[in-house]
């Protein structure tokens, strides 16, 4: 029987978080948008967020939402946002805890323009993918890759030529946009579902206040009144729901939270060829050079926990971080994490006595996993790697607490990450020291997304149309101060 997500285990879990750890961790206070110099110049390859959770309507399945291409203003035409046909997009799973992928799902895209003599993405009154008025059509293939000790052992094409839901241009162009969403929502052979296309960006944060030296607009950010700078913006989403046995170490369903196969680490990446020439698709000599086997694909972006690269990794290492893999994190970046710069900044701004050195509590909460909750079992238990670790045996919470584990809700972040989890407030309070006896009611003043999430697949809210585009206009209403962790 699965164990409840909010239970008497809370005290034991929180106590375990404070245990010492031997190696480094990293932390972020928001999501991965424009996090490194090179990827800032390549938005179509930029991972923005990864979410992994057990959906309330899909028990014994893992649901992953991986978003790419930050800051999509819905009205930005006529060349609207889309996945890049020249890139490889991956969702990766580590079921042993060593930071090396055991299962990958690869997404490759192909875009066709029906009428290159028209400037329109679609003509007025386009009703669906079969409508000749749809001028730009993007489709994709899904391939499952299985590894052992980092070596590819099996490759299986799961589905081919599936449609990508187009951008929501507006009601005159797409009188019934849901037609495209429904047609892009597919059942996968062997179980599971998939959706790929534009959705409302589920991340919420007062970005202006955050990067203006945590310049919260009211109090310590726990009284609302923050500006949701991602409100009204869209993202390009891959939502993948799989039976648990597709990603567990023994290919079996998870029986309960204590099962040896219960914890899975999740992250996403983007690969490009080392040499990339714009529009090199004409079949000439340049195209042959680009497609050569010698011109191999290399990783240019990655994202696991929300957002270590912006805040912990220094400018000189950010691009390197995007090129490397989770199993290298402790050795390469540990020196920047145990003494987080953010803690010193918070002390300078608020005088909150946040510990500035030897932050092994952060290591455990985010990189090693919390014992008896989302730490891998077996020989790699406690290995510090930047993956989003989810215990598939924890029952979903009927009414999620936005503070996740520090709010007593063990089904929330950092045990995976749900759409509702307020990772900005959680991580600010963790850096301040809530896990080591220094609870401080920090936040950014934004408590939820600008749109309610869906109760069924694909869960992310629909994007605003281009006609209705009005980004970054939502302010959180004022409210009474919220105690640390949301407690009373």
CB 313 within 8 A of CB 336: yes
Q: Give the H or E element holding residue 35.
A: none
- Examine the pLDDT at 31 and tell me if it is beyond 60: no
pLDDT at 289: 61
**Residue 159 above 60 pLDDT?**
yes
Does the pLDDT of residue 139 top 70, yes or no?
yes
Spacing of C-alpha 11 from chain mean position: 28
Measure the CA–CA gap between 450 and 445, rounded to whole angstroms: 13
Q: Which residues contact 15 (CB under 8 A, 6 or more apart)?
A: none
Here the tokens at position 336 are 């920047």
* Tens digits of residue pLDDT in 327-341: 998 888 777 778 888
> In which element (H, E) is residue 320 found?
helix 318-323
Strand spans (E) along 128-286: 136-148, 151-163, 186-187, 193-200, 227-228, 234-243, 263-273
Residues above pLDDT 70, as percent of the chain? 88
Residue 7 has pLDDT above 50, yes or no: no
- Spatial separation of the C-alpha atoms in residues 123 and 119, rounded to whole Å: 10
- 450 versus 34: which is more confidently predicted? 450
470 DSSP assignment: -
11 pLDDT more than 60: no
For residues 205 and 318, which has the higher predicted lDDT (pLDDT)? Answer: 205
Q: Which region among 52-61, 226-235, 317-326 has the lowest average model confidence (pLDDT)?
A: 317-326
Predicted confidence (pLDDT) at residue 476 exceeds the cutoff of 90: yes
Q: Which residues of 62-97 are buried (b: 16+ CB within 10 A; e: fewer)?
A: bbbbbbbbbbbbbbebeebbbbbebbbbbbbbbbbb
Quote the pLDDT of residue 282. Answer: 44
Which of the residue ranges 47-61, 98-112, 328-342, 396-410 would you say has the lowest mean pLDDT? 328-342
Residue 238, helix vs strand vs coil: strand
Q: Please say if the pLDDT value at position 23 is more than 90.
A: no
Place of tokens 């990450």: 417
> How large is the average pLDDT for residues 456-475?
96
pLDDT at position 274: 85
Q: Which carries the bigger pLDDT value, residue 204 or residue 7?
A: 204
Indicate whether 288 pLDDT > 50.
Answer: yes
The Cβ of residue 314 has, within 10 Å, a number of other Cβ atoms equal to 11
Q: Region 26-45: what's the mean pLDDT?
A: 65
Q: What number is the average pLDDT over the span 5-24? A: 38
- pLDDT for 229-252, tens place per residue? 999 999 999 999 999 999 999 999
| pLDDT at residue 63, as a whole number | 98
Identify the DSSP state of 3. Answer: B
Q: Which tokens belong to 205?
A: 């944060």
Q: Collapsing DSSP states into helix, strand and coil, what is residue 168? A: coil
Is the pLDDT at 256 greater than 90? The verdict is yes
Q: Are 440 and 429 in contact (CB under 8 A)?
A: yes
What pLDDT, on the 0 to 100 scale, is given for residue 298?
94
Q: What pLDDT, on a 0 to 100 scale, did the predictor assign at position 32?
A: 52
Whether 33 shows a pLDDT value over 80: the answer reads no
Residue with tokens 């323009």: 113
- Residue entry with tokens 């029906």: 114
Q: Do 162 and 109 form a contact (C-beta atoms < 8 A)?
A: no
pLDDT at 216: 92
Q: What would the mean pLDDT of 162-191 be, rounded to a whole number?
A: 97
Lowest mean pLDDT: which of 89-98, 241-250, 287-296?
Answer: 287-296
365 preceded by cis ω (within 30°)?
no
């Amino acid at each position: 029987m699965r164990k409840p997500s909010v239970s008497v285990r809370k005290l034991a879990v929180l106590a375990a978080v404070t245990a010492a750890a031997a190696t480094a961790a990293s932390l972020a206070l928001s999501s991965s948008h424009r996090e490194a110099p090179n990827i800032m110049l390549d938005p179509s390859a930029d991972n923005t967020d990864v979410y992994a959770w057990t959906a309330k309507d899909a028990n014994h399945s893992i649901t992953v939402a991986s978003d790419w291409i930050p800051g999509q203003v819905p009205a930005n035409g006529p060349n609207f946002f889309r996945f890049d046909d020249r890139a490889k997009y991956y969702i990766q799973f580590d079921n042993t805890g060593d930071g090396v992928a055991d299962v990958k799902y690869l997404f490759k895209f192909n875009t066709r323009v029906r009428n290159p003599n028209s400037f329109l993405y679609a003509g007025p009154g386009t009703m669906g993918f079969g409508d000749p008025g749809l001028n730009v059509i993007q489709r994709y293939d899904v391939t499952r890759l299985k590894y052992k000790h980092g070596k590819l052992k099996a490759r299986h094409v799961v589905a081919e030529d599936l449609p990508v839901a187009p951008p929501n241009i507006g009601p005159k162009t797409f009188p019934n946009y849901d037609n495209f969403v429904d047609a892009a929502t597919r059942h996968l052979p062997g179980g599971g579902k998939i959706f790929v296309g534009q959705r409302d960006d589920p991340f919420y944060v007062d970005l202006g206040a955050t990067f203006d030296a945590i310049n919260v607009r009211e109090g310590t950010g726990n009284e609302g009144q923050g500006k949701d700078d991602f409100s009204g913006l869209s993202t390009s989403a891959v939502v993948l729901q799989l039976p648990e046995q597709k990603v567990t170490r023994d290919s079996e369903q998870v029986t309960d939270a204590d099962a040896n196969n219960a914890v899975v680490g999740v992250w996403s990446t983007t690969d490009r060829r080392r040499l990339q020439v714009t529009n090199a698709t004409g079949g000439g000599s340049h195209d042959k050079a680009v497609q050569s086997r010698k011109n191999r694909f290399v990783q240019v972006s990655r994202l696991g926990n929300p957002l270590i690269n912006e805040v912990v990794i220094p400018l000189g290492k950010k691009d390197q971080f995007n090129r490397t893999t989770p199993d290298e994190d402790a050795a390469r970046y540990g020196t920047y994490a145990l003494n987080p710069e953010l803690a010193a900044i918070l002390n300078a701004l608020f005088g909150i006595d946040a510990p500035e050195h030897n932050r092994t509590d952060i290591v455990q909460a985010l990189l090693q996993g919390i014992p008896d909750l989302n730490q891998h079992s077996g020989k790699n238990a406690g290995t510090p790697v930047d993956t989003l670790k989810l215990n598939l045996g924890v029952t979903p919470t009927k009414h999620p607490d936005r503070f996740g584990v520090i709010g007593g809700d063990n089904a929330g972040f950092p045990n995976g990450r749900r759409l509702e989890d307020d990772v900005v407030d959680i991580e600010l309070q963790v850096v301040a020291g809530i896990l080591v006896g220094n609870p401080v009611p920090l936040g950014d003043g934004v408590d939820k997304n600008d749109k309610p999430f869906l109760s069924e697949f694909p869960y992310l809210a629909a994007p605003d149309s281009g006609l209705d585009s009005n980004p970054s206009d939502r302010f959180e209403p004022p409210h009474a101060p919220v105690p640390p962790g949301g407690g009373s």
